[in-house]
Amino acid sequence: MVADVSSLVDGERGLVSRRIFIEQDIYQQELEQIFARCWLFLCHESQIPKPGDFFSTYMGEDPVLVMRDTGGKINAFLNICRHRGNRLCRADSGNASSFSCAYHGWTYGNDGHLMAVPNERDAYYGELDQSQWNLVPVAQLDNYKGLIFATFDPDAPSLLDYLGEMAWYLDCFFDRREGGIEVVGGVQKWTIPANWKLPAENFAGDAYHTAWSHLSAIKTGFAGDFRVKASTQGAVLSPGNGHCIIALGPEDVAAPPEPDILEYEKQVRAEVEQRLGKRTSRVNPIVGTMFPNFSMLRAASYTFRVWHPKGPEKTEVWAWVFADKAAPDHIKQQLRLASIRGFGPSGTFEQDDMDNWQECTQTCRGVVSRKFELNMQMGLGHESYDEELKAWTSDFRLSEANHRRFYGRWAQVMGADTWQGL
């Protein structure tokens, strides 16, 4: 364990040690202190709509199986056989009433209970108490507006307490219209040689890079020009607990510049404003990260994703396209196409980002390079708490205030033995 992790993040001066992106012992502490304790995104309920549907994912590096049992209840368990620890379900998703381990055949129902053990009567002499060897459930499981979250920590705060004011900002992405959202198409997965925190903090507050890193893509016109227009308004906002949002001004349009999509957004605007309330007259949230590793984007692309850690220098990205469930089918398909053009493993914006995150990580390997802290001082001292927006808000639309709060929360959780006082 790291003796004094708080010394690696200096939020007051906007300095962050590069050690946190590369050292194995720090990464191991992250798995124990953050990914084994925080609320983590598993899947959207539209991905498992029917009894027996399941979805395989991870919480940190622990494999997890999310499934609806035969009665329709959603559960989540460690995706490991209790006999020898083999991965129980090898499929990414599907529908099943039971799961049999490929190693020795122990079989579990879709409610997690151990149903059958080969040779239980003769080899075990009927003495194995099968009720003690069911699948291991997560400690807490909850659903917020169709988003399924879980934590391994029974002492963690409730999901709503963990979200705090971030709940309203999630609504701006996932509950704009009656019925919420649905996933359009399948999950896209790819691996990048970068530390998971770099993409998480990028979505949390880095609007600074877009007009520079993505200028060539922006000039093609497929993603709109709001990122480079001098008239674009907005701010970075931190509603607490390490959660962070990038918002435009209420009149700024970030939707893909497709005529049908722009017309759709125009038609639903009054409904969205009525549903979300008066804060929409102040800000238009378009990008964000729910601490630690669940990010969302509703701009030229409509995507949400998880940054799965796979070591200090490796991240597996899982990304989905989403749309309002009430949107017409042709709008959903246009959003899907617009989203994968910009984001996803072959997206033009995504390629730029992956290259930057890779190099930011790899240069941390240098013994001398690692000694020099990162500068996150943009906007330092130029943010204040906005009572109406219920968030710490920057005075200008470009700021690293969210970076400081993201890493500040990281240091708090890494150094805390309990949730009390966090």
Task: Tell me how far CA of residue 357 lies from CA of 223, 235, 311, 388, in angstroms.
Answer: 21, 23, 15, 35
Residues 141, 337: Cα–Cα separation, whole Å: 33
DSSP of 371-400, one letter per residue?
Answer: GSPEE--TTTT-EEEETTTTEEEESSSS-S
- Single out the residue of 337, 333, 338 nearest to residue 221, CA to CA: 338
Q: Which of 101, 98, 82 is nearest to 90 (CA)?
A: 101
Residue 417, burial from CB neighbour count under 10 angstroms (0-12, 13-18, 19+): exposed
Q: Which amino acid is at 395?
A: D
Provide the annotated active-site residues. 104, 206, 209, 214, 353
| Amino acid letter, 5 | V
Contacts of 206 (CB under 8 A, 6+ apart): 246, 400, 403
Q: By the 8 A CB rule, do 7 and 15 touch? A: no
- Residue by residue, DSSP assigns 284-326 as EEEEEEETTTEEEEESSSEEEEEEEE-STT-EEEEEEEEEETT
Q: In this structure, what token pair is assigned to residue 4?
A: 């004094």
179: left (phi over 0), alpha (psi -120 to 50) or beta: left
Half-sphere exposure of 53 (CA within 13 A, CB side): 12
Contact 182, 44 (CB under 8 A): yes
Q: How far apart are CA 195 and CA 16, in angstroms?
A: 14
> DSSP string of 122-184?
TTSTT---GGGSSPPBPSEEEEETTEEEEES-TTSPPHHHHHTTHHHHHHHHH-SSTT-EEEE
Q: Please, which residues have CB within 8 angstroms of residue 388's CB and are 6 or more apart in sequence?
A: 278, 279, 282
